[in-house]
Chains A and B, each alone.
Chain A
């Protein structure tokens, strides 16, 4: 089954404790992105990647890191999480020919206290 998976689905952590949210897709897609969704603000892009070792900032990259060492994986790293990073996070992937037609993962609900 074609899918995008994210782990963990729910996470409660404390300020400053480094965490990683994993994202994996099995569709051999070139493009992958991370978004956060907050009430009233909609989905905002954090980072995106056009292929292995090629990443670029989205609209809200501050406080986040990403890497793309393998085509299928695109982890999101919060080196020192803060309460304003409490949000619903989505990973998405798309193919080279249909880069805007994105497949989303199920989401990760992160709470930073």
Chain B
């Protein structure tokens, strides 16, 4: 158990819909990272927040957005969902930016 929690564990939805994935970092960690893992793309970094502010951006689509709240939990919002958005979405946290990252168990999103 890494100490990072993610909800929900599974999510099944339809194309065109919007979903929100939630992540609670380890106690004391200020940085939160989001990753997407699909079968053909491997693990792709999406975005990082540090103490409430966006710190780094990776291959995140414009339909996706994220935020980190004052209590340091983070949410990843995915809208206008397409079949290709079906993937595992992982959240990770670290004490400071660029420290060792600890990953949550992931949310498996299926878009039908």
Q: A and B from one assembly?
A: no
Q: Which A positions have Cβ atoms within 8 angstroms of B?
A: none
